[in-house]
Each structure stands twice: as C-alpha cells, then as structure tokens.
Amino acid sequence: MHFTPVLRSEALKVRTLRSLYGTLLAVFAVTTAFSALAGASDTSDPDFDPLFTALSGVWPGQIAAIAFGAMVVSSEYHGNGIRLSLAAVPQRGRWFAAKLVVVAVPALAVGLLTACAAVVAARAGLGEAAGGLTAGEQARGVVGCGIYLMLMALLAAGLTALFRSGTATLSTLIPFILIVSFVIGDAAGGITDFLPDKAGQVVLYETYDGPLGPWTGLAVTALWTTAALLAGVWRLRSRDA
C-alpha cells in the first residue's frame, strides 16, 4: 500500500477521536494562561528574562503535548486495534511513519499558534519590561517553542510504541520532567543541561548560559526523540501485534 492512503487513514483516526482535540486545546489554553499570569509577575528579579517569562507557560503546557503524542499511538492498543491496523498495512515502518506525521503536524501547528498567543498575552502584562525584545528574538522563541512541543509529542509517541502503553509513557515521562529534571537539576550539576526538556527549553530564553545554545539545545532534544522513535520501531518490528 502506498504511503498517501495510509496517511489519510491515520489522519481520519485522529479526527474521529475527540479526546485528542481536548489535549491540543489544553496545550493552547494552559500555555497561554500561565504565560499571561507570568507576564503580570514582578520584573525586578535580577534573573528576569522577558522572553522566557512570555513563554514560561510551555512548562505546564508541554504535559498536554506529551499526552497528545501518547494517546495517538496508545489508541491502537485498545481492543487490539493494532492487529487490524497492521493487517491493513503489513509494512509496519510505513504505518508507523504515517502515525508520526499525524502526531507531528498538529503538534507543530498548535505549538506555533500557542507560542504566538502566549507572547501576545504575556507582553500585555509585561509592558515596558518586554520592550527590549527584538522581533528576531521573539520569532526565534515562537518557532523554537513550536518545534519543542512537536518533539516532546513525538518523544511520547516513540515511548508509547516501545512500552505499548500510553499509561506507562505518561507515568514515566511526566514525573521525569516534573521531578528528575526540575527538582534535582541543580543537585545533579551540568548533566541536566542535556536532558530532553532542559536542552530544548534553551530556545525559550533571550539570554542563555551553559554549553548549549537555542538550536543546539533543540538538536539534543531531537536526538532523544530520535532514540525513542527508533526504540519504538524496534519494538513494533520485533513483536507480534
């Protein structure tokens, strides 16, 4: 079977699952709301970064992006739907590639729209504190934010294919981001700079220190995502449906 009809089939599955619309709406609503709240915060902190403040809602909002990626893949394992999918498309790599496209495209589109809304909402509260942000810095933050959310959704999709369970993915990835990366980051030292979330979020800062820059940080996140996707492909190919 050619790739185009497989892609159309997978896109139809996404459109018919209303819960997936809810996760994408949550990405937009949560990120924008938290960014707006951050924009109303005190700007006298010496570590204040106007670009990161404007996009800081991504930190909670990414949980919804992760849930989206996990749910798109895990829906196949409900009621052994994976058997029907692979019977219709025996080429497992082609089927999984189509599945990843229907994760990546909506996640990127919603991520870009969300980042634009977050910047606008936060700037309204920041006022003159955001006056030093250049158009280039804001564009980099918006594009980088969209790519970051897409990569996190794909990371979740790869882990779900590996674990064959969306619950296992969410139970692993969300605590990792909220606890391992955030809480013990300072204690662990510079190694946390290369974790998938920490590395990718460098693009959200106006100024940044450390070994990674905005695009090299996203490249590190992309490497983590690629590793998860390859692990998912291996599991898909090596185990019967």
Burial of 12 (0-12, 13-18, 19+ CB in 10 A): exposed
Quote the CA–CA distance of 226 and 232 in Å, as a whole number.
10
Quote the CA–CA distance of 146 and 116 in Å, as a whole number.
9
Quote the CA–CA distance of 165 and 82 in Å, as a whole number.
12
For residue 134, is pLDDT > 90?
no
- Asked which of 43-57, 86-100, 157-171 is least confident by mean pLDDT, the reply is 43-57
How far is the CA of 3 from the CAs of 7, 9, 93, 142, 204, in angstroms?
A: 6, 10, 10, 31, 35
For residue 209, is pLDDT > 90?
no
Straight-line distance from the first to the last Cα atom of the chain, in angstroms, rounded to the nearest whole number: 19
Query: Quick one: pLDDT at residue 147?
Result: 98
pTM above 0.85, yes or no: yes
Q: How confident is the model at residue 91 (pLDDT cuts 50, 70, 90)?
A: confident
* Average confidence (pLDDT) over 175-198: 76
**Per-position DSSP letters for 81-148, written without gaps between them:** HHHHHHHH---HHHHHHHHHHHHHHHHHHHHHHHHHHHHHHHHHHHGGGGTT--HHHHHHHHHHHHHH
- Which tokens hold the place of 237? 């190919």
Q: How confident is the model at residue 189 (pLDDT cuts 50, 70, 90)?
A: low
For residue 1, is pLDDT > 80?
no
Average predicted confidence (pLDDT) for the chain: 89
Query: Quick one: pLDDT at residue 84?
Result: 82
Q: How many domains does the chain have?
A: 1
Query: Quick one: pLDDT at residue 136?
Result: 93
* Domain around 93: 3-238
- Which tokens hold the place of 216? 């090299």
